[in-house]
Amino acid sequence: MVLAGLVVLGLLSWLALALMWKNADKLPSVIGSITSPIVAIVSAYLGLRIGNEQGLAGTTAANESRERAEKNVTAILADLPPGQAAKYTRMMGAPTAPSNEAPWAVPVAPPQTGASDQQ
């Protein structure tokens, strides 16, 4: 595609030069009007092609990174005690096993009986 565009540009420029060699003052405008559309089309083609390739590579890398992060978080949560793991999975919005305690409940330590209570 690019090579064909360059060949057409060369042929049209040579043809314009051969036909207008006596009117050299009009030659730049003729060559410019011939080459501008072809250059625009080839540039647009290459820009879309390169942009599409880079976008696909970026999306693939982002998906791989997300999957690695999910595996790491899963491994970390597996090492926590069940009560702590459930708290963090709820914070992340991940599904957890149903429990008997309300999600808004705050664990409260039982009252301690000490020497001051026995008097």
Rounded Cα distance between 108 and 30, Å, is 87
Tell me the whole-structure pTM to 2 decimals. 0.39
At 3, list the tokens. Answer: 């090579």
DSSP state of 47: H
CB atoms within 10 A of CB 21: 9
The residues spanned by each domain of the chain are: 1-33, 61-95
Per-residue pLDDT tens digits of the chain, which is 119 residues long: 667 777 887 888 788 888 877 777 877 887 788 778 877 887 888 888 887 777 777 778 788 888 888 888 878 877 877 777 777 777 777 665 555 555 555 555 666 765 555 55
State the Cα–Cα distance between residues 51 and 59, nearest whole angstrom: 12
